[in-house]
Amino acid sequence: MHAFEPLMRLWRGLSRPWSLPAREAPAGSAGSTQTPAADGCAAPPTDWIGEAAAARSRASEARARKLLCRMLSPSQLQELETHGCFTVEAPGRGRFCILPRTTFNVFHMQTGNLYCCNTEAFVPLSDLMLAQKLLLEHDPDRFFAVANCRPEVFAGPWEQQLRRALNREPDRTPRQGQASGLHSLR
């Protein structure tokens, strides 16, 4: 064995991107794809870790989405299905659109300003949207005490398009007891 063989093995292992799983050649293909085991290096156990994490993430988001849909008023639910976002009325502050992303996702419909306020603990996106809805509707002072604001110049074409579309739609009444329809979603 060459004196540098252990170091060379280590280098071969390090030079392989850990996040990229080794692809096996499709059956019948003439490719010379080499599996990690073939050159003496064991495959890093990232495949199943990544899949498990992704599955957990999907399950969490599905659970959060179900809760969000149950908490929205019929009009907000319709907006979510139509536009992928929904609007809320913050008492004394105006109407805001909550967009499906994690940063600067609260859009003031009148001014076009974007606000960013996240939960300190990681939560799925739909839970974040629910948290922002509850805070804006029932504790706006807390929301605006911590939220960072970007002026409207940072709003992109999607936000502007949403602003036009949502402003065209007739105002809908906020959720009052969910007497209609939403119970069927539980």
Partner 1 sequence: MKTLRILDSSGDRVFTFDESAASAKARREAEALFTRVLSNGATAFKVNRGEGRSDEKVADFSTLENETVVVPRVVGG
Q: What is the contact surface with partner 1 in residues (CB under 8 A)?
A: 56, 59-64, 67, 70-71, 102-104, 116-124, 127, 130-131, 134-135, 137-139, 142-143, 146-148, 174-179
Q: Determine the Cα–Cα distance for residues 120 and 17; give it in Å rounded to an integer.
A: 31
- The CB density around residue 8, as the number of other CB atoms within 10 Å, is 10
Provide the minimum distance between the beta carbon of 181 and partner 1 in the complex, in angstroms, as a whole number.
14
Provide the minimum distance between the beta carbon of 169 and partner 1 in the complex, in angstroms, as a whole number.
21
Q: Is 87 helix (H, G, I), strand (E, B) or coil?
A: strand
Amino acid at 37: A
Provide the minimum distance between the beta carbon of 38 and partner 1 in the complex, in angstroms, as a whole number.
38
CB nearer to partner 1: give 41 or 69.
69
Give kind and range of the element (H or E) at residue 50: helix 46-71
Q: Determine the Cα–Cα distance for residues 66 and 112; give it in Å rounded to an integer.
A: 29
Provide the minimum distance between the beta carbon of 147 and partner 1 in the complex, in angstroms, as a whole number.
6
Provide the minimum distance between the beta carbon of 70 and partner 1 in the complex, in angstroms, as a whole number.
8
Output the CA–CA distances (angstroms, integers) from residue 153 to 83, 150, 156, 157, 162, in the order listed.
Answer: 22, 8, 8, 11, 15
Q: Determine the Cα–Cα distance for residues 119 and 139; give it in Å rounded to an integer.
A: 14
Residues 169, 76 contacting (CB under 8 angstroms): no
CB nearer to partner 1: give 21 or 74.
74
CB nearer to partner 1: give 79 or 105.
105
CB nearer to partner 1: give 24 or 51.
51
Residues 88, 96 contacting (CB under 8 angstroms): yes
